[in-house]
Amino acid sequence: MGGYEDVADLAAAARAELVREIELSGAWAADPVWRESFRAVPRHLFVPYYYVGVVGGYERRWGEQPDPAARARWVRGAYADAPLATRLRDGELLSSSSQPSLMAMMLVELGVADGDRVLEIGAGTGYNAALLAHRLGDDGLVTTVDLDPEITESAARHLAAAGYRPVVVTGDGARGVPERAPFDRIIATCALPEVPRAWLAQCRPGGRILTPLATGLAVLTVRDAGHAEGRFLHTPAYFVPLRGGGRGTPELPGLGGVPRRARENDLFRFLLTLSQGTLDPQEAYALWQRESAPPRERYGVTVRGERAWAWLDDPEGPYAWAFPANSGGP
Instruction: List domains and CATH numbers for the chain.
Output: 4-244 (3.40.50.150), 266-322 (no CATH)
**The pLDDT value given to residue 257:** 65
Residue 31 burial class via C-beta count within 10 angstroms: exposed 0-12, middle 13-18, buried 19 and up: middle
Q: Which residues pair with 88 in a beta bridge?
A: 93
Q: Where is 88: in which H helix or E strand?
A: strand 84-89
Measured distance CA(110)–CA(310) in Å, rounded: 20
**CA gap 322, 195 in Å, rounded:** 12
Q: What values do phi and psi take at 144, rounded to 5?
A: -130, 140
Nearest C-alpha neighbor of 107 from the set 271, 322, 99: 99
What is the reported pTM? Answer: 0.91
**pLDDT reported for residue 327:** 43
* Per-residue confidence (pLDDT) for residue 249, from 0 to 100: 35
CB neighbours of 170 closer than 8 A, spacing ≥ 6? Answer: 145, 146, 147, 148, 149, 152
In order along its 330 residues, the chain shows pLDDT tens digits of: 444 558 889 999 999 999 999 999 999 888 889 999 999 999 999 999 999 876 677 789 999 888 999 999 999 999 999 999 998 877 777 788 999 999 999 999 999 999 999 999 999 999 999 999 999 997 899 999 999 999 999 999 999 999 999 999 999 999 999 999 999 999 999 988 899 999 999 999 999 999 999 889 999 999 999 999 999 999 998 888 876 433 333 333 456 666 655 555 788 989 998 887 788 889 999 999 999 999 999 999 999 999 999 999 999 999 999 976 444 444
Active site residues: 95
pLDDT of 266 reads 84
Per-residue model confidence as pLDDT tens digits over 137-164? 978 999 999 999 999 999 999 999 999 9
Per-residue pLDDT, 250: 36
Q: Name, in order, each residue with C-beta under 8 angstroms of 123's C-beta and a sequence gap of 6 or more.
A: 129, 144, 145, 146, 151, 152, 155, 168
CB 197 within 8 A of CB 210: no
